């Protein structure tokens, strides 16, 4: 009992000490800048908080040069339709948001559009579960899209998209969301990459960035044709590479 009382007394002493130090600092600053200066400091701090909230809710500018790049893509892929790719980006991001919300990858296991993303999403969901985090994306609204970059190398063509989106964001592990932005709609932007394999003989499918995993056990697959997983025996349907597949996504405004 004596130890507990002593420990509590020590804690109270530390708290009191911190309070005294804070008061001394406040008094010292006030003596230097005066009452008017202190008012200005408080007003500046309030304005900074307001600016953070304004930036959080400001619809972001889409980053891209669609008109300049689109002609090059059409030259290589005559049937290319940017609106179709934009809709695919929205669909894929919504599937990822739902998987994170549900803390489950069951609904995307057999989603062909996410064959390159499955292992990444699975690892992110597992990390969220391990840390007992709850994340929500409510009232999702996509605003605009633009093509940011285009390249052809190693048997694959890569298109980088920029997409602006808004949603009511909840993350119970993010103190900033709770402190500054609770109840506000978050406006942000995502950069996504899509790959089209036009020459399988040159495509380095074993690169980590383009790894395809077994939807059952998560083991890496070493071939694109039909067959069974070497680790769990699950039958894998042949993969049609002649399509645009998302290989990465990243939020541009992670820290508001």
Domains of the chain with CATH codes: 55-251 (3.10.450)
Stated pTM of the model: 0.75
Residue pair 79/73 in contact by the 8 Å Cβ criterion: no
Closest CA to 241 of 149, 115, 122: 115
Q: Can you give the pLDDT at residue 252?
A: 95
Tell me the pLDDT of the chain (256 aa) as tens digits.
555 455 555 555 565 556 566 445 545 555 655 565 545 555 555 556 778 888 999 999 998 889 999 999 999 999 999 999 999 999 999 999 999 999 999 999 888 899 889 888 999 999 999 999 999 999 999 999 999 999 998 888 999 999 999 999 999 888 877 777 888 999 999 999 999 988 877 766 545 456 667 767 777 666 555 567 777 777 666 666 678 999 999 999 987 6
> Residues 177, 136, 142, CA angle at the centre, nearest 5°?
95
List, in sequence order, every residue forming a beta bridge with 156; answer none if it has no partner: 153, 197
Q: Can you give the pLDDT at residue 4?
A: 47
Q: Can you give the pLDDT at residue 15?
A: 52
Q: Can you give the pLDDT at residue 214?
A: 72
Paired tokens of 124: 């992110």
DSSP state at residue 213: B
- The H-assigned helical ranges of the chain are 2-57, 66-76, 82-102, 118-130, 175-180
d(CA 203, CA 223): 12
DSSP assignment of 110-168 equals: T-GGGTTTHHHHHHHHHHHHHTT--EEEEEEEEEEEEEEEEEEETTEEEEEEEEEEEEE
Q: Can you give the pLDDT at residue 77?
A: 93
Around Cβ 102, how many Cβ atoms within 10 Å?
Answer: 11
Q: Can you give the pLDDT at residue 228?
A: 73
Closest CA to 236 of 251, 214, 253: 214
3-state secondary structure of 189: strand
3-state secondary structure of 194: strand
Paired tokens of 217: 């056990």
Paired tokens of 171: 């993350």
Inter-axis angle of helices 66-76 and 82-102, nearest 10: 100
Q: Which residues contact 154 (CB under 8 A, 6 or more apart)?
A: 202, 203, 204
Look at the alpha carbons of 125, 181, 86, 66 in this order and tell me if their dihedral is positive or negative.
Answer: negative
3-state secondary structure of 182: coil
């Amino acid at each position: 009992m004596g130890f507990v009382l002593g420990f509590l007394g020590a804690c109270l002493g530390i708290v009191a000490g911190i309070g005294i130090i804070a008061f001394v600092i406040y008094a010292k600053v006030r003596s230097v800048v005066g009452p008017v200066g202190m008012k200005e400091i408080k007003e500046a701090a309030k304005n900074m908080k307001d600016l953070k909230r304004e930036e959080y809710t400001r619809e972001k500018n889409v980053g891209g040069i669609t008109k300049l790049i689109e002609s090059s893509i059409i030259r290589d892929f005559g049937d290319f339709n940017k609106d179709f790719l934009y809709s695919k980006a929205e669909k894929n991001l919504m599937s990822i948001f739902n998987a994170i919300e549900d803390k489950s990858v069951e609904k995307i296991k057999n989603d062909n559009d996410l064959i390159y993303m499955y292992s990444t999403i699975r690892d992110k969901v597992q990390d969220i579960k391990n840390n007992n985090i709850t994340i929500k994306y409510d009232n999702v609204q996509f605003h605009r899209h633009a093509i940011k970059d285009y390249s052809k190398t190693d048997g694959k063509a890569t298109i980088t998209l920029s997409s602006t989106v808004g949603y009511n964001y909840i993350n119970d592990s993010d103190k900033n969301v709770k402190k500054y932005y609770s109840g506000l709609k978050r406006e942000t932007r995502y950069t996504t990459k899509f790959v089209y394999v036009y020459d399988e003989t040159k495509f380095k499918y074993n690169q980590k960035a383009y790894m395809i995993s077994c939807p059952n056990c998560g083991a890496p697959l070493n071939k694109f044709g039909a067959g069974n997983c070497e680790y769990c025996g699950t039958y894998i349907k042949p993969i049609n590479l002649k399509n645009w597949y998302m290989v990465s996504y990243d939020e541009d405004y992670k820290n508001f």
